[in-house]
Amino acid sequence: MYKCLFLDLDDTLWDFSGNAEETFREVYELYAFHRYFDSFEQFYSLYKQRNAALWKEYGDGAITKDELNRQRFAYPLLCVGVDDARLFKEYSGKFFSIIPFKSRLKPYARESLEYLSSRFRLYILSNGFRELQEQKMRSSGILHYFEKVVLSEDIGVHKPYPALFHFALSVAQADAKDALMVGDSWESDIEGAKGVGMHQLFYNVLGKQEFPFRPTYVMDSWKEVQGLGI
């Protein structure tokens, strides 16, 4: 039915949430952040609180990549009265040196890639940074499943904006009607794909109950993919 599949990477295949929390715990201990916070949970809650909003600003072009990274790592420390630009830079650099070597995937993701790669041409379509995404894929042993990694940095436009989907389709030399987008983000992956006429497979990891529209396919686990009739 499809000539190619585009798959999001973070929290669709590569377990970003789990790998990021593990990395932050290592950095928290390494820099003795217990001096500033009541617990790791306090620190990480503050980080996540600001991180999502900053990624939205970055996706909208309101801030640069450097500003995104500066603000999101500074925010939790600023919240507890620590204003140390050198510390912000050091611990964010350590985070980025560790996280791409984490290898945890979402359950059954590898088995599903074996199945899908025998049937379709596979591409990554991600808003992540190139210096991290390809290393994450090498570390987790999945890079070889994909013909190409297409990133928002390639053209300076992020999912869900149509230009990135059109660019990805041109890379794959495919029409929208012949492509399927697979992802865990309703706005970025599913609404973005629908907006350009692509079919969608929503990986419903958070158990979303109501949908503004019915996606082409929905799965709660990668274990279900072979039963979807794709």
Question: 209 by DSSP, 3-state: which?
Answer: coil
Least trusted range by pLDDT, from 71-75, 120-124, 126-130, 218-222: 126-130
8 A C-beta contact, residue 190 and residue 215: yes
Percent of the chain with pLDDT over 90: 93
- Full-model pTM: 0.94
| CA angle in degrees (0–180, nearest 5) for 110-228-113 | 15
The pLDDT confidence band at residue 93, using thresholds 50, 70 and 90, is very high
pLDDT at 60 over 90: no
Nearest Cα residue to 135 out of 9, 38, 6, 1 = 9
Residue-level length of the chain: 230
Residue 63: DSSP 8-state: S
The pLDDT confidence band at residue 66, using thresholds 50, 70 and 90, is very high
Distance CA 203, CA 226 (A): 14
Distance CA 19, CA 103 (A): 8
Average pLDDT of the residues in 72-101: 97
Average pLDDT of the residues in 26-53: 97
- pLDDT tens profile 183-213: 999 999 999 999 999 999 999 999 998 999 9
Percent of the chain with pLDDT over 70: 100
Nearest Cα residue to 182 out of 136, 113, 129 = 113
Predicted local confidence at residue 1, as pLDDT: 85
8 A C-beta contact, residue 167 and residue 198: no
Going from the C-alpha of 75 to that of each of 41, 56, 59, 80, the distances in angstroms are: 15, 16, 19, 9
- pLDDT tens profile 139-163: 999 999 999 999 999 999 999 999 9
8 A C-beta contact, residue 8 and residue 158: no
Say which residue the tokens 């996606």 belong to.
Answer: 215
CB-based contacts of 108, cutoff 8 Å, min separation 6: 221, 222, 223, 225
